[in-house]
Amino acid sequence: MNKAMPTHAASASNDDLEPQAGHATRAASQPAANAAKAHRAGAQPAVLDEIALPSTLLDITPQQAGTQTLLRGLAILEAAAAGVRDLRTFGAALGTTRSTTHRLVSSLVQARYLRQVQGGYLLGPKLIELGTIALEQMPLTAVARQHLESLAEQTLDTIHLGVRDGDDVLYIDKIPGTRGLEMRSRVGHRMPLASTGIGKAMMLDLTPDMWQSLFEASRRALAGVSFKPDNRPDQQTFMQRMTNYAAGGYTFDLEENEASIRCVAAPVRDASGSVVAALSVASTIPYMSLERMDELIPVVQREARAISEELGWRAPQPATRRIKR
């Protein structure tokens, strides 16, 4: 990249500062104006999708004019991630001329941040390489720790972080509660997925057939364990609960794993949207009434979402409105 980018950036700098391109600060909020610019530049779009680009990439002050090329390059990558494929729509989204847009896109292709295919442009292999390195530099426990601590401070209860390992949940972090209670869970401890709230949170995206299979695996694993009282649900109750949990994006442990212990859990997702972990808040019945469990659902979900966002997950966005021209 160091060899390829400077030459292209320099060649585009004069064009980047021309008056017409200076209107990029209004591009994200005025799609109609962008379409008009594209039309005057010779484009004839029949339909233009609204592209929501981060304002920080386009809000350029005169004092920051020297950074325009870099910011516009990043905005092109954002637009490509949002589904833009052709030069005309890149230019319309950024408010740049066709020649400037072409030079920016060509530089990104040469540096492998974009790749040219039949029908337009897609995100390139360089981003995959950097994304993999970024993930390696952000281990899950390190990313999650501050959010676990925040949850512990808010609730005073025991906080767990776990990942799936086969049919089990593997606890990879734990913050004990401050109410003087102690649970048998520990870092490195395993329990069947279907018998724990944190394990069930990692099952939310699975099919009902998989729910049933994991329920049966849990029953076999805990066949020799005595539960007094036995609050383990039968298969029909378990399946109905999982259906409700999947619709709500959370799970409960209602003394199914340890007598008198209840918990509220939520899934953690990565950049692909896949569930890669889960976190939970756990305590004994006197501190974990059903009413309080309901109150904790959005609290636990908020911290789980925060971890997910640091791992690259983005909440699904509503479909963009298509504007006929």
User: For the segment 84-97, what is each residue's pLDDT rounded down to a tens digit?
Assistant: 999 999 999 888 99
For helices 5-16 and 68-81, the axis angle rounded to 10 degrees is: 100
321 domain-assigned: no
pLDDT over 90 for what percent of the chain?
52
Domain hosting 125: range is 5-134
- The enclosing domain of 272 has a CATH number of 3.30.450.40
What dihedral do alpha carbons 197, 201, 205, 206 form, nearest 10°? -40
For residues 199 and 273, state if they share a domain.
yes
Q: How confident is residue 17, by pLDDT bands cut at 50, 70 and 90?
A: very low
Mean pLDDT along residues 276-287:
94
303 domain-assigned: yes
294 domain-assigned: yes
Q: Is 147's pLDDT higher than 80?
A: yes
Mean pLDDT along residues 121-131:
90
Q: How confident is residue 12, by pLDDT bands cut at 50, 70 and 90?
A: very low
175 domain-assigned: yes
Which of the listed residues 93, 108, 134 is the one where a domain comes to its end?
A: 134
126 domain-assigned: yes
Q: Is 243's pLDDT higher than 70?
A: yes
For residues 144 and 25, state if they share a domain.
no
70-89 pLDDT, tens digit each: 889 999 998 998 889 999 99
- The pLDDT of residue 51 is 53
Q: Domain tally for the chain?
A: 2
Q: How confident is residue 58, by pLDDT bands cut at 50, 70 and 90?
A: low
Which of the listed residues 78, 101, 134 is the one where a domain comes to its end?
A: 134
Give the other-Cβ count within 10 Å of 177's Cβ.
Answer: 19
Q: Is 128's pLDDT higher than 90?
A: no
Mean pLDDT along residues 60-68:
59
For residues 79 and 121, state if they share a domain.
yes
Which distant-in-sequence residues (6+ apart) come within 8 Å of 209 by Cβ?
A: none
For residues 180 and 300, state if they share a domain.
yes
Side-chain-facing half-sphere of 119: CA atoms under 13 Å = 4
For residues 161 and 300, state if they share a domain.
yes
Which of the listed residues 134, 153, 180 is the one where a domain comes to its end?
A: 134
45 domain-assigned: yes
